[in-house]
Amino acid sequence: MWISSLYFLTLPLYFNEIKIRYFALLKYYANIIFMSKQKERRMDGMQYPIWKIEEIRHQLDVVNGMQSPDIVITNATFLHSHLKKWITGNIWIVKDRIVYTGSEMPLVSDQTEVYDATGQKIVPGYIEPHVHPFQLYNPQTFADYAAQLGTTTFIADNLTFFLMLENKKAFSLIDELQKRPFSFYWWARFDSQTELENEEELFTSKTVGEWIKRHDVIMGGELTGWPRLLSGDDQMLYWLQQAKTNGMKIEGHFPGASERTLARMRLLGADGDHEAMTIEEVERRILHGYAVTLRHSSIRPDLPQLLKDILEKDLHIFDHLMMTTDGATPSFHVDGVMDKCIQVALDAGVKPIDAYLMASFNVAKYYNLSNLHGVIATGRFANLNFLKDEQSPVPLSVLSKGVWLKKEQQKTRTLEPIDWSPMPDLNLSFDVSEADFQFSIPFGIEMVNDVITKPYSISFDTTDIELSKDHDESFLLLLDRKGKWKVSTLIKGFATSLMGFASSYSNTGDIILIGKNKKSMQQAFREVKKMNGGIVIVEDEQVVCSIELPIGGVLSNKSVEELIEEELVLKKELANRGFKHGDAIYTLLFLQATHLPYVRITQRGIFDVMKKQVLFPALMR
């Protein structure tokens, strides 16, 4: 009787344990299935539904001769990326999709546009695989500019969106951009590339994970914070593994990396890198199985020499190479975007087919996008560049997602501007006082080149209103955009006679002031405040030049063509005042960037990059 009672008393506990184990097992297998589905969704060319069932049925009707296409390209000589040869035939297009390539003609109606491409060469729309679309220009204006030169797809940095917006607002802007006849894909950053007050609050598994889950986010990185991975940062490694599970590529940022570092980072999950500056570094990356993107940017125009060396060494690696302008500033693009890279390759002696594939198919294949991009074949987006000949990469006409953006050398459509109101206004509600310039630290920051800075000892009194023009040292002040804190010191090597300079363009959107004269710097600040964001030079109480940046205080709403002119004026005026480096915009961006040696001015204070510690903290105002 007693045993029987005990049995019935323990029976519920037994079944409860069984239930717990059952649901744990169920959850385990559900997670496996979910991750598998996620991987299937991301792998094999992002097989999420691009076209609806009724659209596919209509496309089939066109191929079956029951309906007419929207556009037929006749007498087309086009580059076939798989065959690596020029093919002659006709191309049928329905809305944004190629539905047939070959010798046959479709049913042609009064609504069908027939375009005779006799005498032209047609290549896939160019793909920029490493875009920082926030270098004064914004994603829409830069895409509009690039499209006229044949670049119809961006794989773009998300850092500005991530730092300045909640994900919901950032995604609303991205979704709006996707409505334009241009292809945007995005990165998911894992670190801020500076020292933030609140980095742990911004970069969480939830916020980073929401980016990773988007179907248009196809790259993790770039890994400017890679030393953290080597030091055992499991959170970053978790994000990286999550990205890999979702079929994303991981882009490194490994300038000067040793073989062992490259091997370690490859084991941690890095797939590609764009920081090779010598032929030896290219070979080293290829040896360890990296995809290599060759850079031609405003601060690292390495592409011509690298291509020359690859050809001289007879390295048959062009199938594994891509090219990028790596977020070059506006004036660098005066003569092109990806078309510029292709021209550099042609001038270096690269075979035309290899040159065009490095800027299209190689990128699409690497990022599992070749079912949509980089190939002129059935089922792909109708992204086509019509060239005078294979030696002329600037297209005569551009089709992007089946829309003529340029025709017979004339712009036929502008990518519609988007509503930038989700970006926070700058709203500087404070003024700069004499007390903000006071500091007691014994050293300043010396510029070694455009982007490398090191500490140096200050040897004179810094309490005066104005510094002498006999040396190249200036006041440097970093101000919180909300006015809460400041970091003050001197900067050496920026300019010799710059009186007042202010910029709301920076890595974090905080305010940078530089100059010889404190009052001129204060006036420059007030001018930036008046514009709700921008870059200003002030001298003798007059504004010498300015660039307005009303979108969040960091981006312009003007066309790239207008920005080029404004940036050239800014560079000229800075050079007249002793700025001797190549790219002032990158200097402003990288003053806070802790992925570069040796000291940086950050939200937390003066930061020693090598020792990873704050030398002098930011002070509350």
pLDDT in tens, 512-523: 999 999 999 999
Please write down the HEC assignment for all residues of 191-230.
Answer: CCCCCCCCHHHHCCHHHHHHHHCCCCEEEEECCCCHHHHH
Question: Average pLDDT in the 420-433 region?
Answer: 97
Cβ burial, residue 547 (10 Å; 0-12/13-18/19+): buried
Give me the pLDDT at residue 49, please.
73
Is residue 95's pLDDT more than 80?
yes
| pLDDT exceeds cutoff 70 at 291 | yes
Q: What is the pLDDT of residue 53?
A: 96
Q: Of 43 and 444, which is predicted with more confidence?
A: 444
Tokens of 35: 């991750």
- Interval 84-107 mean pLDDT: 98
- Asked whether residue 45 carries a pLDDT value surpassing 50, the answer given is no
**Residue 48 has what pLDDT?**
63
Backbone φ and ψ of 610, nearest 5°: -70, -40
Look at residue 618 and tell me whether its pLDDT is greater than 50. Answer: yes
Helix (H) / strand (E) containing 24: helix 2-46
Phi, psi angle pair for 265, to nearest 5°: -70, -30
- Calculate mean pLDDT across residues 322-344: 98
Overall average pLDDT of the 191-201 stretch:
95
Query: How confident is the model at residue 513, as a pLDDT?
Result: 98
Q: What percent of the chain has pLDDT over 70?
A: 92
Which H or E run contains 160? helix 159-164
Residue 346 has pLDDT above 60, yes or no: yes
Q: Which residues of 235-267 are buried (b: 16+ CB within 10 A; e: fewer)?
A: ebeebbebbbebbbbbbbbbeebeeebbeebbe
Q: Please report, rounded to a whole number, the percentage of residues in the chain having pLDDT higher than 90.
A: 91
The burial class, CB within 10 Å (0-12 / 13-18 / 19+), for 454 is middle
Question: Which amino acid is residue 480, in one-letter code?
Answer: D
Mean pLDDT across the stretch 265-277?
Answer: 98
Q: What is the pLDDT of residues 302-326, one digit of tens each?
A: 999 999 999 999 999 999 999 999 9
Q: What is 129-375's CATH topology?
A: TIM Barrel (3.20.20)
Residue 425 per-residue DSSP state: P
pTM for this structure?
A: 0.92
CB 581 within 8 A of CB 447: yes
- Identify the pLDDT of residue 158: 98
| Model pLDDT, residue 123 | 99
Mean pLDDT of 275-285: 98
Pick from 258, 621, 582: nearest CA to 452:
582
Among 34-43, 126-135, 311-320, 340-349, the minimum mean pLDDT is found in 34-43
Q: What Rg do the C-alpha atoms of the chain give, in angstroms?
A: 27
Mean pLDDT of the chain: 93
Across residues 480-504, what is the average pLDDT? 97
Q: How far apart are CA 232 and CA 242, in angstroms?
A: 17
Does the pLDDT value for residue 1 go beyond 70? no
